[in-house]
Amino acid sequence: MKRVTYISLLLILVISSCSTKKVEELKEAFKEGVNKSVVDQTLVKVASQLNKTLPMEVDSETRLDNTMALPNKVFQYNYTLVNMLSTEVDTTQLLSFVKPNVINNIKTNPQMSYFRDNEVSVNYLYKDKEGNFITLLKVTPEEYQ
């Protein structure tokens, strides 16, 4: 009983020594961590459901192979340029074409509202027809809000 009382007293002293501001900062950090965890878990479910419908031909040049949820609220689409080799692709030109379209899609597509509402970063990874890496486009919430 003395030990429980001593621990309780110690906890009260520690908590009371924390400023109100510090306690609020701790609460906010905890909420942010919980929110991030919930969003990450939801993204895993979204990727799993979407992957059941993949691979899918997007157009004559592009195939969406799969998606994945990455830590810290990141969702990734993995594409293959089915008629190209990595040595044939001008990544600067590809990104200058793709990035504005991707950002506009995230901003305006109703199906992307969960990403917008939860500040999810979205990656677009491109490989060539032999599976070699071409480029990775990363879009952050700051870019689409």
Q: Which residues pair with 121 in a beta bridge?
A: 74
Copy the structure tokens of residue 125.
Answer: 């990874």
Tokens of 106: 């995230």
Compute φ and ψ for 120, nearest 5 degrees. Answer: -85, 135
Instruction: Check: CB of residue 73 under 8 Å from CB of residue 119.
Output: yes
Please indicate, yes or no, whether the overall pTM of this predicted structure exceeds 0.75: yes
CATH code for the domain of 92: 3.30.300.250
List for the chain the helix, strand, coil content (%; round to 5): 55, 25, 20
What is the mean pLDDT, run by run of 10 residues, along the chain of 145 residues?
Answer: 47 50 52 74 97 97 98 98 97 96 96 96 98 98 96
Domain extent at residue 62: 3-144
> Tokens for 8?
């309780």
- Closest C-alpha among 65, 78, 55 to residue 126: 78
Query: Based on the structure, what is the number of domains in the chain?
Result: 1
